[in-house]
């Protein structure tokens, strides 16, 4: 991938919006966050100008490299993030939530599952959820990552709404507690022993 005009523009825009380099990289696709940062520097907009928020202010100085020769390094490989890129042309698009469009959100509160009575959610799981929601990090949609629980809590129609945000189970969109109520084994009896 090369830095086409459009890509650079998007980069600038997102960087200006305070998006992180990794998010930008994901959005652009085909580049790593390093590439993004590198480009940012080359473009001379390393500092997020104007914006009052300067999360990281590090006068870091380059150190001579000297390594203990121990870590082969294991970095996260760039994953082909397949995010449906639905942009409206023309206007400044609002940040696209990484959350799949989901109608009828089930607030993880009391009114539990409108689900078939076929399988009941273990009382323990429910208790766990209640417990967990006390500790929920109350993330906004922007703060969600692939590693944070995306269980919605509260009423989306009000500002009394947030996401669980606790560490999600690898491969799942929810934390363990919410996975417990979200993904019910479709067979309780079938093959229940091992």
Q: 2-39: string of b/e by CB count within 10 Å (b at 16+)?
A: eeeeebeebbeebbeeebebbbbbbbbeebbbebbbeb
The alpha carbon of 87 is separated from its chain's Cα centroid by a whole number of angstroms, namely: 19
67 is a site residue for DNA (CB under 7 A): yes
Question: For residues 115-154, which are near DNA according to CB under 7 A?
Answer: 145-147
Q: Which two tokens stand for residue 41?
A: 């520097």
The stretch among 54-62, 106-114, 131-139, 182-190 that binds DNA (CB under 7 A) is 54-62
157 is a site residue for DNA (CB under 7 A): no
The stretch among 35-43, 79-87, 119-127, 177-185 that binds DNA (CB under 7 A) is 35-43
Which of these, 112, 22, 148, 144, lies nearest to 75 by C-alpha position?
A: 22
Instruction: Tell me how crowded residue 107 is: count the other CB atoms within 10 A of its CB.
Output: 15
Min. distance of Cβ 144 from DNA in angstroms?
11
Q: Which of 5, 6, 50, 58 binds DNA (CB under 7 A)?
A: 58
For residue 99, give every residue at least 6 positions away whose Cβ sits within 8 Å of its Cβ, in sequence order, or none.
141, 144, 150
31 is a site residue for DNA (CB under 7 A): yes
Min. distance of Cβ 145 from DNA in angstroms?
6
Min. distance of Cβ 87 from DNA in angstroms?
21
Dihedral pair phi/psi, residue 132, rounded to 5°: -60, -40
Angle, CA of 124, 127 and 130, to the nearest 5°: 150
What phi-psi label fits residue 124: left (phi over 0), alpha (psi between -120 and 50 degrees) or beta?
A: alpha
Q: Which of 47, 83, 130, 140 binds DNA (CB under 7 A)?
A: 47
Dihedral pair phi/psi, residue 157, rounded to 5°: -80, -10
The stretch among 32-40, 86-94, 131-139, 178-186 that binds DNA (CB under 7 A) is 32-40
Smaller CB separation from DNA, 60 or 94: 60
Question: Contact positions toward DNA, by CB under 7 A?
Answer: 1-3, 19-23, 31-35, 37-42, 46-47, 55-56, 58, 60-63, 65-67, 73, 75-76, 145-147
């Amino acid at each position: 991938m090369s830095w086409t005009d459009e890509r650079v523009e998007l980069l600038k825009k997102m960087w200006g919006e305070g998006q992180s380099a990794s998010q930008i990289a994901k959005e652009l696709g085909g580049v790593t966050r390093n590439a993004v940062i590198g480009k940012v520097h080359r473009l001379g907009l390393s500092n997020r100008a104007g914006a009052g928020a300067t999360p990281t202010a590090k006068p870091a100085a380059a150190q001579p490299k000297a390594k203990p020769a121990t870590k082969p390094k294991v970095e996260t490989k760039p994953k082909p993030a397949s995010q449906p890129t639905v942009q409206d042309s023309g206007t400044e698009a609002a940040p696209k939530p990484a959350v799949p469009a989901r109608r009828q959100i089930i607030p993880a509160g009391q009114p539990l599952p409108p689900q078939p009575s076929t399988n009941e959610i273990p009382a323990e799981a429910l208790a766990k959820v209640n417990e967990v929601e006390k500790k929920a990090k109350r993330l906004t949609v922007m703060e969600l990552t692939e590693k944070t629980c995306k269980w919605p809590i509260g009423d989306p129609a009000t500002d009394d709404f947030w996401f669980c945000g606790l560490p999600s189970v690898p491969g799942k969109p929810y934390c363990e507690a919410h996975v417990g109520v979200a993904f019910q084994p479709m067979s309780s009896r079938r093959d229940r022993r091992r």
